[in-house]
Structure 1
């Protein structure tokens, strides 16, 4: 999750740098630049949400696989003490 936030922060900084990189633009179109920046941020937010949803689905699938591959413990079955042989 930290990686997603890091990527979104980098993309935000790149977007801000791209809007300020053109010194020949006059300041009369600040509203249009603001709208364009918000559109780009909306796209980044949508991509991040899709990535998080994909990662959540992958984690759920992995957890289901782990649960299916481990047989449940039987109640009342004898247990083994792994430290009984003095291996600690």
Structure 2
């Protein structure tokens, strides 16, 4: 993905797939959720969208990008099994 490109062309260099519902998904994403909208509630000027998860995909080897204290960072963690 290229920050200089405009419109849909900026996503053309990435690998894309389809979720269960047929919606597009970036294959390199850390995690993706395929949801069906159940309800939308207006809260002031913002909509709150509630959905049911149909499927989830993940890449456990990837680290999530976090925005914290006005900067981007990653965290290292391990899940206890």
TM-score under structure 1 length normalisation: 0.18
Q: Which structure would you say has the larger RCO, counting Cα contacts within 8 Å and 6 or more residues apart?
A: 1
TM-score under structure 2 length normalisation: 0.19
More helix by share: 1
- Structure with bigger gyration radius: 1
